[in-house]
């Protein structure tokens, strides 16, 4: 099980997330989406190196990543925000993204898919947003077959320095922001069914880390 590595996490509820991303949806692509473009490309490149696979992306949002996937894959995206998914569906239609199998409103901590239904799972900029990160990690592990791949890209907080002070200050506004600025990496490590095979920074002001796991 993952540990907190730095005290209790700020409480976030589903309604906080839904409300925050309803506000973000109209300008997400040219704001946060532009800021995270490089980490997104790096993560999808990892998936594109796989043989043809069935992939689930948690927190697919407005579908910025969907055109980046190789057409050999079959992609299912889930998100809690209907407003974000409306924009993702429009993108799929306008760009004729035939490799996208489905886009569903769904809680990442309570996926309705069968055990081992996917060859790989992706979660970008999501794990700091969900109310129960440990449950989401468990669900990703559950729906990916043994030997499959799980990729996380996220901001993880630091213990010391000016950035740590900013993150700890901002943490008090987590429910309003809809994500946790203070989120130690240890929170997502240590699950026995997920073996960490790679950890690297992905450049965007050094704020994001890519973690690659193998489902054991």
Return the percentage of the chain with pLDDT > 90, whole number.
61
Residue 128 pLDDT:
85
Q: Between the ranges 16-20, 52-56, 164-168, where is the mean pLDDT highest?
A: 52-56
Residues of 190-205 as b/e, b for ≥16 C-beta within 10 angstroms? ebebbeeeeeeebebe
Q: Is 0.85 surpassed by the pTM of this model?
A: no
Q: Which of 2-11, 88-97, 126-135 has the lowest mean pLDDT?
A: 2-11
Asked if residues 163 and 113 have their Cβ atoms less than 8 Å apart, the reply is no
Residue 209 pLDDT exceeds 60: yes
What is the per-residue pLDDT for 5?
40
| Segment 105-130 mean pLDDT | 95
């Amino acid at each position: 099980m993952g540990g907190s590595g730095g005290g209790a996490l700020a409480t976030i509820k589903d309604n906080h997330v839904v409300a925050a991303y309803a506000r973000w949806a109209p300008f997400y692509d040219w704001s946060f989406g532009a800021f995270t473009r490089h980490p997104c490309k790096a993560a999808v490149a990892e998936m594109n190196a796989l043989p043809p696979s069935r992939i689930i992306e948690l927190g697919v949002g407005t579908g910025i990543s969907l055109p980046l996937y190789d057409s050999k894959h079959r992609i299912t995206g889930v998100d809690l925000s209907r407003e974000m998914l409306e924009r993702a569906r429009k993108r799929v239609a306008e760009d004729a993204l035939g490799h996208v199998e489905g886009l569903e409103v769904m809680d990442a901590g309570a996926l309705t898919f069968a055990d081992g239904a996917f060859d790989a799972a992706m979660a970008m900029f999501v794990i700091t947003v969900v109310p129960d990160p440990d449950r989401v990690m468990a669900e990703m592990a559950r729906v990916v077959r043994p030997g499959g791949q799980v990729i996380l890209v996220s901001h993880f907080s630091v213990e010391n320095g000016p950035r740590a002070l900013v993150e700890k200050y901002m943490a008090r506004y987590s429910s309003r922001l809809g994500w946790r600025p203070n989120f130690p990496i240890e929170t997502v490590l240590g699950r026995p069914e997920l073996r960490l095979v790679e950890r690297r920074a992905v450049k965007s002001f050094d704020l994001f880390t890519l973690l690659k796991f193998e489902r054991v």
